[in-house]
């Protein structure tokens, strides 16, 4: 069943690899069971955290098929499909099997720095071909361009199939403009774990999280408390995780979260080039921090 509400805690799941670089489905299954047990609301394979850009087309299909089979309808699944070649993205979406998929997360085109008109036209085309609701993803630190608040609001009003934005600009003035002028049912989701609580205080309804791979219970509890308006309880959980979240991103993502997941015996600490594992000092620091949380 198609889900149009993406409030709560979504998890941008990692893609576990074996030492030889092959996909590790045993560990992926372990991760999915761990985070579902932790009370998260939905999972997002094939995002940045899932190293989607270094997966082959067949590997992407295999990962999504495994995720939907393992989740088996217990929680929604949102798949990441994006890029900076609009026609290639359209071909990928039109050729994708959306069985068991509840939403599409699509990152704003990167590297070629389109104008706001180009960004609007890109997402209009993607939403027009997607059989499931679309969450647009604004992450200027990775894409090299920003989706302006005016563009987000115009997309939200003009295109019914665009239902949410994963907003990771870090620009609170921009976020507030979106929240002030968006349609009532359009959702603003945090794309930054550390900013989730203050964003929710301003009107965001959830997050697509990295740290929830490792701390699903605490992080989803924080989000749920914020959704209920109890920012005192939410604040306690926020500060419990703040140092860990900061450390996770010292050498980029998903290197940090994979080091933590290895400490939790969920998956091995292997990445595909050009990404490499965190240095030994940071690995030990993260290991000590996650053991303190559990």
Annotated catalytic sites, by residue?
137, 166
In a 13 Å sphere around the CA of 145, the CA atoms on its Cβ side amount to 17
Distance of alpha carbon 293 from alpha carbon 80, whole angstroms: 30
| CA-to-CA separations, 165 to 8, 104, 133, 218, 278, in angstroms, rounded | 13, 11, 11, 23, 30
Q: Judge residue 150's burial from the number of C-beta atoms within 10 Å of its C-beta, 0-12 exposed, 13-18 middle, 19 or more buried.
A: middle
Q: Is omega for the bond preceding 274 within 30 degrees of 0, making it cis?
A: yes
Q: Coil, strand or helix: which one is 164?
A: strand
Pairing of strands 162-167, 206-209: unpaired
């Amino acid at each position: 069943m198609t889900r149009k509400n993406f409030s709560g805690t979504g998890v941008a799941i990692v893609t576990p690899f074996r030492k030889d670089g092959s996909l590790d489905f045993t560990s992926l299954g372990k991760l999915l069971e761990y985070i579902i047990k932790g009370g998260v609301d939905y999972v997002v394979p094939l995002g940045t955290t899932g190293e989607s850009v270094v997966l082959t087309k067949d590997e992407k299909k295999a990962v999504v098929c495994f995720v939907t089979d393992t989740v088996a309808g217990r929680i929604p699944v949102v798949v990441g499909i994006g890029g900076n070649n609009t026609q290639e993205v359209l071909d990928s979406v039109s050729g994708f099997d959306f069985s068991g998929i509840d939403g599409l997360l699509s990152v704003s085109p990167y590297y070629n720095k389109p104008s706001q008109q180009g960004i609007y036209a890109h997402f209009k085309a993607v939403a027009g071909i997607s059989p499931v609701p679309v969450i647009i993803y604004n992450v200027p630190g990775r894409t090299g361009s920003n989706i302006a608040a005016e563009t987000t609001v115009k997309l939200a009003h003009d295109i019914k199939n665009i239902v949410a934005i994963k907003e990771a600009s870090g620009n609170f003035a921009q976020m507030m403009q979106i929240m002030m002028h968006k349609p009532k049912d359009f959702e603003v989701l945090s794309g930054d774990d550390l900013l989730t609580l203050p964003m929710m205080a301003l009107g965001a309804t959830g997050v697509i999280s990295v740290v929830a791979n490792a701390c699903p219970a605490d992080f989803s509890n924080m989000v749920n408390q914020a959704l209920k308006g109890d920012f005192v309880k939410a604040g306690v959980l926020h500060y419990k995780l703040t140092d860990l979240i900061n450390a996770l991103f010292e050498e980029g993502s998903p290197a940090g979260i994979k080091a933590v997941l290895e400490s939790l015996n969920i998956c091995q600490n292997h990445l595909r080039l050009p990404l490499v594992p965190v240095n030994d000092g940071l690995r030990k620091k993260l290991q000590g921090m996650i053991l303190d949380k559990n």
